[in-house]
Amino acid sequence: MKEEANDLYKRKSFTAALDLYSKILNNSELPNGDCMMEFLRTVRSNRAASYIALEQYTQAVEDLRHILSSAVHDASSKPSPDSPTATSTRKAHLRLARCFYELGKYEDAMKHLDAHRAFVGDRNVSEEKALRDKILKAQRNRQSGSSSTNEMTVPLKYVVKISQPTPTADIELNETVPLSLCNTRNPPEIQAKELLVNLVKKHHAWLLKQGPLSGGAWKCWSCGKRANGMVHTPASYLHAYLEGNNAMVVDFVQPVCVDRGPCDREARKMMQEEMTMAANIGRRG
């Protein structure tokens, strides 16, 4: 049945191939065992390819995620890169990258391309490279599109202060900001907020990986355990530009042990109180 389905796929009868793959996957009378698991992963992988050919990316993503979560790896040894298990996992990453690209989720697409890269090592895969170029181009287009067509920009310092039991140096990153947000004391509120959100989004994953400056992990600001998340509280000093200084965003970061856990909630509560206090002082002055 699988051969027949593959044949249909090759002859570009994607809908018919898809039906047949689904029939195999829904057959509950198949025997159990690692070998059968691997067979079903291949069938599912082929069904995902059919979905992609029919531009049904969301369904393809579902199948591909299932493939990734059902890999049977021997925990004691690294699977050989050419084993069937590794091959279907590698292909799933590449296909997920393709789907997320088509769905406009470029960051997820990049994540899976990187995972795919980890499997192939230095071997140059032209399909991966072509896709990578396409994603980078789409990301650039989106960025230049969202900061309203070729608007003048000026340099922005993004300063990240990380709250640690043992203080660490601030991290400073060079960014740009539309001039229209800096040459006024009252920048448009929504755009100014958007700027902060985008800065945090853009750098969050990277910052999380800089734990004591890249050789280790951040510690939870509250309990000192290994941090798995971060609470950001960015404050903008865009009008510093008016005084002849660099526009600046200062991000107060509290690494937290568990996303949404007690230390996370505590961090959010504390920052909220600080902000309210600062706002009240501002009002009095």
The footprint of Zn ion (CB under 5 A) covers: 220, 222-223, 257, 263
CB of 159 to Zn ion, least distance (A): 24
What would the DSSP string read from start to end of 5-24? HHHHHHTT-HHHHHHHHHHH
Q: Are 8 and 20 in contact (CB under 8 A)?
A: yes
Nearer to Zn ion, 223 or 240 (CB): 223
Amino acid at 158: Y
Helix then strand count (H, E) for the chain reads 9, 4
CA 182 to chain centre: 29
Count of CB atoms situated within 10 Å of the CB of 123: 9
Q: Which is nearer to Zn ion, 79 or 261 (CB)?
A: 261
Nearest approach, Cβ of residue 207 and Zn ion (Å):
18
Tell me how far, at minimum, the Cβ of 47 lies from Zn ion, in Å. Answer: 43
How far apart are CB 171 and Zn ion at their closest, in Å?
21
State the nearest-atom distance from the C-beta of 221 to Zn ion, in Å.
Answer: 8
Closer of 157 and 225 to Zn ion (Cβ): 225
Structure tokens at 162: 């990380």
Q: Give the length of the chain.
A: 285
| Alpha-helical segments (H) within the chain | 2-10, 14-26, 34-53, 57-69, 84-102, 106-120, 126-146, 189-208, 262-284
Identify whether the C-beta of residue 88 lies closer than 8 Å to the C-beta of residue 37.
no
If the CB atoms of residues 171 and 223 are measured against Zn ion, the closer one turns out to be: 223
Strand 229-237 relative to strand 171-178: parallel, antiparallel, unpaired? unpaired
Q: How far is the CB of 234 from Zn ion (least distance, A)?
A: 21
37 versus 223: smaller Cβ distance to Zn ion = 223
φ and ψ at residue 237, rounded to 5 degrees: -125, 60
* Cβ closest to Zn ion, residue 85 vs residue 222: 222
